[in-house]
């Protein structure tokens, strides 16, 4: 059975997409630990990060750097933390979490935001992507 991320990649489920290329997609997390919490996902459905084919893994990392720069600008956070956990969905994904303290890495703090909040942060992040790519 396809993971929820595969269904998003295939267009079967909606998402707040930030970027997409041949090997990966980046979307806002449904449950936002902090506003701007982003998931960078390889398109190939692989459970463990160490099993992701190298080309896809490297693209996820490249895109994560670009997105982290845009996230930092969009949220004015001092740090963007990363985590690859994998317990909630058996499809590798990297969390990018705008952070002001270590407490911001607490997934129990994740909450659903309004569609207006999600659209607003999506637009702000996308608005900073061009600048982030050129660095």
- Map out the domains of the chain with their CATH numbers: 4-133 (3.30.428.10)
> What distance lies between CA 64 and its chain's CA centroid?
8
Tokens coding 25 = 């997609």
pLDDT tens per residue, range 36-92: 999 999 999 999 999 999 999 999 999 999 999 999 999 999 999 999 988 889 999
Closest to 124 (Cα-Cα) out of 59, 64, 67, 61: 67
- Looking at residue 108, what is its pLDDT? 93
DSSP state of 90: S
Burial class for 101, CB neighbours closer than 10 Å (0-12, 13-18, 19+): exposed
pLDDT tens per residue, range 102-120: 999 999 999 999 999 999 9
Among the listed residues 23, 37, 91, 93, the single catalytic one is 93
Distance in angstroms (rounded) separating the CA atoms of residues 131 and 70: 8
Distance in angstroms (rounded) separating the CA atoms of residues 109 and 106: 6
Reply yes or no on whether 93 is catalytic.
yes
Asked if the model's pLDDT at residue 95 lies above 90, the reply is: yes
């Amino acid at each position: 059975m396809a993971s929820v991320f595969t269904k998003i990649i295939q267009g079967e489920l909606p998402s707040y997409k930030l970027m997409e290329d041949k090997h990966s997609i980046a979307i806002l997390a449904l449950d936002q630990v902090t506003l701007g919490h982003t998931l960078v996902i390889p398109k190939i459905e692989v459970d463990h990060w160490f099993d992701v084919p190298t080309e896809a893994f490297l693209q996820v990392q490249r895109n994560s750097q670009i997105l982290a720069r845009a996230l930092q600008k969009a949220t004015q956070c001092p740090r963007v933390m990363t985590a690859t956990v994998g317990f909630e969905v058996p499809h590798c994904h990297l969390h990018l979490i705008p952070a002001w303290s270590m407490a911001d890495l607490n997934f129990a703090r994740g909450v659903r935001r309004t569609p207006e909040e999600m659209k607003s942060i999506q637009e702000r992040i996308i608005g900073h992507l061009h600048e982030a790519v050129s660095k």
